[in-house]
């Protein structure tokens, strides 16, 4: 059984989608813990109410960033999870932490990478006049939002879209995409080799793409 640790900073809506996927028996995973850098993160309360172990590494209690990152790294190592799942963790991870979990840490980002790394992705997509937007799940590397992309969910940008409306439509697809990618790990179908994910022993030179009509009931095929 695949074991995972989920790292959050806020409401943890993608974490909730993973827990719900487990409850519906779509995912056969062991959630070792939900870890947050903020003690008041709404996602921590949700995870605790569901009976999952929670860990707080409060960034405000450390005298410097290096101390905080070392402690977070140690906590994650102690959990000994097969996969570290970043689900709305809002801090940049240092290279030494990322390197420790190379090939075993993934993140979801609200854009079609490599477009719009960083923040305010929905606003930037609208301002750029893009016809489509979406979300990407990628392996985490030291380059911000720059690791090999495993899969993406696309949504069209409509004339009536505001930043808030677009964000909500993208989030709906994130909640489908992340569990589907985790299922690939559960099935031992995906790994990272150099600059490419490897799916079913073949380099994945282009991300897997899903949309609102994609049937991922049994996982990505």
Residues marked as catalytic: 109
H or E element in which residue 6 lies: strand 2-8
- What is the spatial distance between Cα 83 and Cα 31, in angstroms, rounded to a whole number? 10
Query: Do strands 29-36 and 2-8 pair parallel, antiparallel, or not at all (unpaired)?
Result: parallel
- What is the spatial distance between Cα 1 and Cα 172, in angstroms, rounded to a whole number? 27
- What is the spatial distance between Cα 14 and Cα 7, in angstroms, rounded to a whole number? 10
H or E element in which residue 198 lies: strand 196-199
């Amino acid at each position: 059984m695949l074991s995972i640790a989920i790292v959050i900073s806020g409401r943890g809506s993608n974490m909730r989608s993973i827990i719900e996927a487990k409850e519906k028996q779509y995912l056969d995973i062991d959630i070792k813990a939900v870890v947050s850098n903020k003690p008041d993160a709404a996602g921590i309360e949700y995870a605790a109410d569901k009976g999952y172990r929670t860990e707080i590494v409060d960034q405000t209690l450390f005298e410097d960033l290096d101390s905080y990152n070392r402690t977070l790294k140690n906590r994650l190592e102690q959990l000994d999870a097969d996969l570290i799942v970043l689900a709305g963790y809002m801090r940049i991870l240092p290279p030494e932490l990322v390197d420790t979990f190379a090939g075993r840490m993934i993140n979801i980002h609200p854009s079609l990478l490599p477009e719009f790394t960083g923040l305010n992705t929905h606003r930037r997509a609208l301002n750029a006049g893009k016809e489509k937007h979406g979300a990407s799940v990628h392996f985490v590397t030291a380059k911000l939002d720059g690791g090999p992309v495993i899969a993406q969910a696309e949504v069209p940008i409509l004339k009536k879209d505001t930043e808030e409306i677009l964000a909500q439509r993208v989030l709906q697809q994130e909640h489908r995409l992340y569990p589907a990618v985790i299922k690939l790990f559960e099935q031992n179908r995906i790994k990272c080799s150099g600059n490419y994910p490897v799916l079913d022993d073949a380099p994945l030179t282009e991300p897997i793409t899903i949309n609102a009509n994609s049937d991922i009931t049994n996982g990505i095929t």
